[in-house]
Structure 1
Amino acid sequence: MLKAAIVLLLLATVVSLFSGLFFLVKDEGHGSRVVNALTVRVVLAALTIALIAWGFFSGQLTSPAPWHF
């Protein structure tokens, strides 16, 4: 469940990235839609990082690295 939420947040971040690019090209940088897309992308990235950190802290996500304790 946690991994699916992380993947969905990453996909939403990519969609926001391309919508910002579309608005930048279409509005030629004069509209506020680019700023809104950037805000959404930053919030989604912060949520993704927080969810990954919470997953490691709670033990739901683990690292396969041999040096990980």
Structure 2
Amino acid sequence: MLKAAILLLLLAILISLFSALFFMVKDQGHGRRMMYALYVRVGLAALTVSLIAWGFYSGHLQPHVTW
């Protein structure tokens, strides 16, 4: 369940990033919609990082590295 939530947040980050690109092209740098979309992306990224940290802290996520 936690991995699905992280995956959905990463997908939402990509959607927000491409919507900011769309607003940048459409508004030609004169609107504030691009800035708001990037604010949403930063908030989603912070939420994703905190969810990953909580997953490692609680034991729901385990590292599988060989080194």
TM-score, length-scaled by structure 2: 0.97
Match of 2:27 in 1: 27
Work out the CA distance in 2 between the residues paired with 1:35 and 1:65.
Answer: 38
Instruction: Report the count of equivalent residues.
Output: 67
What fraction of aligned residue pairs are identical, expressed as a percent?
67
TM-score, length-scaled by structure 1: 0.94
Work out the CA distance in 2 between the residues paired with 1:26 and 1:38.
Answer: 15
Match of 2:40 in 1: 40
Work out the CA distance in 2 between the residues paired with 1:24 and 1:39.
Answer: 14
Match of 1:63 in 2: 63
Match of 1:17 in 2: 17
Q: Which runs of 5+ in 1 are unaligned?
A: none
How far 1:65 moved relative to its partner? 1.4
